[in-house]
Structure 1
Amino acid sequence: MAEKNQLDTQSIITFPNDDWRAKTGAISSAVEELEQGKILFFPHLGYPLNTQQQSLLDPALVDPKRKNISYDVGRHQIKGVANSEKEPQVRKLLEDYYQACSALIDTVLPEYQSVLRRPVNSLRLHPVSEWRNKSSWRKDDSRLHVDAFPSRPNYGERILRIFTNINPHGEDRVWRIGEPFPQLAERYLPKLAGFSPFKSWLQHKLHITKTPRSHYDHLMLQMHDKMKSDDNYQKNGQQITQRFPPGSSWICFSDQTPHAAMSGQFMLEQTFLLSVKDMHNPDASPLRTLQRITNKRLL
């Protein structure tokens, strides 16, 4: 129990914000806590939907071929809406959510405001149980993992995500949260296969990946897969359960914080990428951590 309480203290940092756009001034510890792999939790920061937006909370709105509805803010490109008549409403909701998230970054993490890039967000309408029932273990996000992109190598860039529970029925979003990344890396690196530059080149030529995988991307993707396939780790690894109620939001680096979505339905999610060099403490990044442990340049 002491170990669990220690992980709880290490993993979740609670903030009082209840307004996305309130200019309350920067929270001095937020960047440092976030870069250590902690989750910034805002229990009173909801994203209320109007009556028209409430009508969008229907899983049938998602294209059956896709997991979620996504919106590329930079390209103004939306994907995954099954009903074209509803697309303008969905687009407006996701654009407005992006604006709110941007305002929150300006307030809580202002040093990131000018350096975050490639904003993409999503409207998640299916219950978590549907992922579990229809996905392979590799795609099952109810298994503890760190995020890595199979087809889009990111060369060490950080994956910053903001989540908001918009469930109208009072259902919590329930996560499991795992151990600190350095401990995780020490656990799994000895189990990972070696990197092959030729294989990386070939995967790119065969259009399996959009660009060649770096050694870093190879390790992160393998770690993602090893974690998810390790039943003993899923059951017995160091972890806590955290409930995120409707009307709450949370932020984490999802490439660093082991997480698993266990239950819940209806969520907004905003993703940004951040260069390691633009971090307050680049040495806390997964890239630098893996380089220290392997004693190799991974890019």
Structure 2
Amino acid sequence: MESQIIEIGLTEWRVDNPNQEWITALEAGKVLYFPHLAFQLMQSEQLLLDPAVRAPKSRNISLDARGHIKGAAGGTEQQLALAAMVGRFREQALSLVHTLLPKYRDALRVAPTSYRPMQVETRAQSWRADDRRMHVDAFPSRPNYGERILRVFTNINPEGVPRVWRVGEPFETVARRFLPRAKPYVAWQAKLLKALRVTKSLRSEYDHMMLQLHDGMKGDMQYQQDAQQVTMPFAAGSVWICFSDQASHAVMSGQYMMEQTLHLAPEQQYDPQSSPLAILTRLAGHPLV
């Protein structure tokens, strides 16, 4: 299998000269890895590297577009400190993406920024929610009609512990494997799910197919074991970027990570034909949204 990890020696949160090879690789579903691009914590922020800063009933800590912190424990001072740290990461992540991918700049929709202080290995989840199984991102309640999911991650583990992923096959390879066994799309079922408010909007055939890929991958333990894949330890003090709706990935271990999600209409890509929507439309032979 051709390498799905592209290592880049950047040391600043900006790209002075956009590189078309990096852009093409990212839009092909590969992971861009910046091993020397560290998010620098302030001395006072070292105290925030503690699972106890997360509210017990929250999965992650997140900062919304208005600068409001959610999912955090502690008093006002600690919550303001968390908001400042996560907000600074958001600014740096946006600087990186805007200069790495200048065509995207005015087309991106910024989603909340998250801080994940918990240890991956200790999370108890159902098989569908278990991100230790290889998958592509798709969400049952939030149809997106092909909108891309671009994520920027940084490992801020203070003890040098890597965040370990498995990175699998190219998207089209995955799609060709799992689509023949996918359940067919049924329009009335999609309408019923919307009427019952199971989904926030009408689930398109594209969204249905993406969920079938997600669940098919996670539910096939033989595939999890035998599929072409690499184990990738993302070092503490590093950054990586991928389209998580396209890159086949599993999160195996690690603790203390921040992540910025950005959404992009597929027609705004440098090569719209490389998007999952375009690939699945071609494989299906008819429009999916």
1:226: how far off? 1.1
Which residue of the partner structure matches residue 164 of structure 1?
154
1:106: how far off? 2.4
2:11 pairs, out of 14, 18, 21, with 18
Which residue of the partner structure matches residue 3 of structure 1?
none
Are positions 1:81 and 2:94 aligned together?
Answer: no
Alpha carbons 1:167, 1:267 under 8 Å: kept = yes
| TM-score scaled by length of structure 2 | 0.96
Which aligned pairs between 1:267-286 and structure 2 lie closer than 5 A?
267-286=257-276
Distance 2:285 2:20 in 1: 33
Which aligned pairs between 1:80-99 and structure 2 lie closer than 5 A?
80-85=71-76, 86-99=78-91
Alpha carbons 1:164, 1:269 under 8 Å: kept = yes
Q: Deviations over 1:46-94 (max 9, x none)?
A: 1011122111111122122221111222x33332112243211111111
Alpha carbons 2:179, 2:212 under 8 Å: kept = no
SS in 2 for 1:292: helix
Decide whether aligned partners of structure 1 residues 84 and 217 sit closer, same or farther in structure 2, where only a CA change above 3 A counts.
farther
Which residue of the partner structure matches residue 140 of structure 1?
130
SS in 2 for 1:29: helix
Which residue of the partner structure matches residue 122 of structure 1?
114
| TM-score scaled by length of structure 1 | 0.93
Distance 1:84 1:25 in 2: 43
For 1:77, give the aligned amino acid: H
Which residue of the partner structure matches residue 52 of structure 2?
60
Which residue of the partner structure matches residue 36 of structure 1?
28
Q: Deviations over 1:231-264 (max 9, x none)?
A: 0011111111111101110000000000001111
Distance 1:76 1:222 in 2: 35
Are positions 1:262 and 2:267 aligned together?
Answer: no
Distance 1:187 1:72 in 2: 37
Alpha carbons 1:30, 1:109 under 8 Å: kept = no
Distance 1:238 1:47 in 2: 31
SS in 2 for 1:163: strand
Unaligned runs of 5+ in 2: none
For 1:111, give the aligned amino acid: K
Which aligned pairs between 1:190-205 and structure 2 lie closer than 5 A?
190-205=180-195
1:107: how far off? 2.2
Which residue of the partner structure matches residue 64 of structure 2?
72
Q: Deviations over 1:20-42 (max 9, x none)?
A: 14x52222322111001111110
Percent identical pairs in the alignment equals 46
Alpha carbons 2:143, 2:207 under 8 Å: kept = yes
SS in 2 for 1:55: helix
For 1:186, give the aligned amino acid: R
Distance 1:207 1:53 in 2: 40
Distance 1:57 1:294 in 2: 46
